Amino acid sequence: MDHYPIAIHGFGMLPPLLALHLLASEPDARVLLLCGDAQVGGDQVEPVIADRLQPGARDLADMCCVRSWEGYYIARDNAIERFDEPVWLLDPVQVWLELAQLSDRCTAIAGCDQPAVSGERLTWAGGTALADRYVDLSALTTARAECEILGIDAVRQLSLPILADYDTAAPGWEANQLLPLGDERVLVRKLPLRAGLVAANSTFETLLNALVAD
């Protein structure tokens, strides 16, 4: 049975980014990464406001950034406000490529259900391993956006992302997010409701900062 100093489970990009951080900060570390998504890191891009990232989190984001903008918009109460803070677009494919270079120290398994934990023993469909430490990020990462790429005349000339449009959100969703892709297409994301104290006061930036804090 394989034995790892640390195992991580969760969804999206946060679990593999944490794995990258641990592998960089602990040269002898070996990590078992159990991803709930069908692909390691999921299949959704994530915009982050770069200036809100602490140095360690910023370094990770920089490795996985595929596009950047000089600012962004927020739409609320029939008004739109511009913020001149740089936004980076993180791509899960880049996260996977970074991890692939460390495959001798990181075992990444996609499509993994919540493992059963008994002491150091982790059991999931298709496998069992031992881990000295287990980090379960499921509760922080299960809420998923819905995405589609559109070529809408009204927004195809959008030069900066709209990180949150609260006015057009459908019932049951927090806001819409519009990310221009640079080819007259726009990625539209429906952002899930931020229910609960932790979700309401957390962003991708704050969660990543907390995970990689010294």
At residue 115, the pLDDT reads 95
Over the chain, what is the mean pLDDT?
Answer: 91
Round to whole Å and give the CA distance between 52 and 89.
14
* pLDDT tens per residue across span 110-137: 999 899 999 999 999 989 999 999 999 9
Greatest mean pLDDT among 59-63, 149-153, 177-181, 184-188 lies in 59-63
* pLDDT tens per residue across span 181-202: 877 788 899 998 877 655 667 8
User: What is the reported pTM?
Assistant: 0.91
Instruction: Answer for the pair 188, 171: CB distance below 8 angstroms, yes or no.
Output: no
At residue 156, the pLDDT reads 59
Q: CA separation (Å) from 6 to 57, 117, 128, 136?
A: 20, 13, 14, 11
Instruction: Answer for the pair 189, 153: CB distance below 8 angstroms, yes or no.
Output: no
- DSSP conformational letter for 52: G
Over 80: is that where the pLDDT of 155 sits? no
At residue 199, the pLDDT reads 60
- 3-211: CATH class: alpha beta
Q: In Å, how far from its chain's centre is CA 155?
A: 25
At residue 81, the pLDDT reads 96
Per-residue pLDDT band for 151 (boundaries 50, 70, 90) equals low
Round to whole Å and give the CA distance between 41 and 66.
15
At residue 196, the pLDDT reads 63
At residue 153, the pLDDT reads 62
Burial class from Cβ neighbours inside 10 Å (0-12, 13-18, 19+) for residue 66 reads exposed
Round to whole Å and give the CA distance between 212 and 201.
18
DSSP string for residues in 141-168 = H----EEEEE--TTTTT--S-EEEESTT
Per-residue pLDDT band for 149 (boundaries 50, 70, 90) equals confident
Round to whole Å and give the CA distance between 42 and 181.
19
Over 80: is that where the pLDDT of 93 sits? yes
- Which position has the token pair 């009204």? 154
